[in-house]
């Protein structure tokens, strides 16, 4: 499982970079599971690795991300702006992560999709080729899920 540890470190580095640089939000890894979070964005990728990545987060956190990134007043933050910020977060995390896995060859990334899941998103699973990372912030929790093909993961590393 050494390769999973390596991937986790790269993913964590990308998550911190994006949240701190673009959203001015500081995250701390959670040992247990994050509370079920209803806002979800997903992106697919294909290159050295093929798979998908998703983020689920609390509405309060999405609101804080929009407020911080765009310097908005509370009454200026709308649902579409929050959705846009959530999609952009997974887009940047995925891009930054793929650059770390393979800095030379390009990967194709899909356009991120967004949805609000009633009652919170299903728990993400962790396995040989999938990773789930949970974080706490001052404005609420979030989870990042990553799935790929195990053989390509070993080859890429």
Partner 1 sequence: MSFNVLIVDDSGSMRAVIKKVIAISGFKLDQCFEAGNGREALEQLKQNWVDVIVSDINMPEMNGLELLQVLKHDPLYQNIPAIIISTEGSSERMSEALEAGAKEFIKKPFLPEDIRRVLYNVIGVGSDGAYQEDRRDADELDF
Residue ranges in contact with partner 1 by CB under 8 A: 17-18, 21-22, 66, 69-71, 80-81, 84-85, 87-88, 91-92, 94-96, 98-99, 102-107, 109, 111
Residue 41 or 58: the one with the smaller Cβ distance to partner 1 is 41
Give least dist CB 98 to partner 1, A.
8
Torsion 109-130-125-10 (CA) sign: negative
Give least dist CB 33 to partner 1, A.
27
Give least dist CB 34 to partner 1, A.
22
Residues in CB range of 106: below 8 A, 6 or more apart:
47
Strands 108-109 vs 50-57: parallel, antiparallel or unpaired? unpaired
Residue 102 or 126: the one with the smaller Cβ distance to partner 1 is 102
Give least dist CB 137 to partner 1, A.
16
Residue for token pair 């800095």? 103
Residue 79 or 122: the one with the smaller Cβ distance to partner 1 is 79
Residue 103 or 119: the one with the smaller Cβ distance to partner 1 is 103
Residue 96 or 126: the one with the smaller Cβ distance to partner 1 is 96
Cα 157 from Cα 11, distance rounded (Å): 14
Question: 25 φ, ψ to 5°?
Answer: -115, 130
**Residue 76 near residue 85, CB atoms below 8 Å:** no
Cα 12 from Cα 29, distance rounded (Å): 9
Give least dist CB 107 to partner 1, A.
7
Residue for token pair 């356009």? 111
């Amino acid at each position: 499982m050494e390769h999973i540890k390596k991937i986790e470190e790269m993913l964590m580095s990308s998550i911190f970079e994006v949240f701190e640089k673009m959203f001015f939000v500081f995250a701390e890894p959670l040992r247990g599971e994050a509370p079920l979070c209803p806002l979800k964005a997903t992106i697919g990728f294909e290159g050295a690795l093929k798979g998908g990545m998703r983020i689920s987060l609390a509405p309060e956190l999405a609101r804080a991300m929009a407020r911080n990134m765009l310097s908005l007043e509370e009454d200026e933050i709308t649902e579409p702006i929050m959705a846009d910020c959530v999609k952009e977060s997974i887009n940047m995390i995925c891009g930054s992560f793929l650059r770390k896995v393979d800095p030379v060859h390009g990967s194709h990334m899909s356009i991120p999709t967004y949805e609000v899941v009633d009652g919170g998103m299903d728990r993400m699973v962790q396995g040989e080729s999938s990773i789930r990372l949970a974080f706490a912030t001052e404005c609420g929790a979030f989870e990042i899920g990553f799935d790929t093909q195990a053989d390509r993961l070993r080859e890429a590393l």
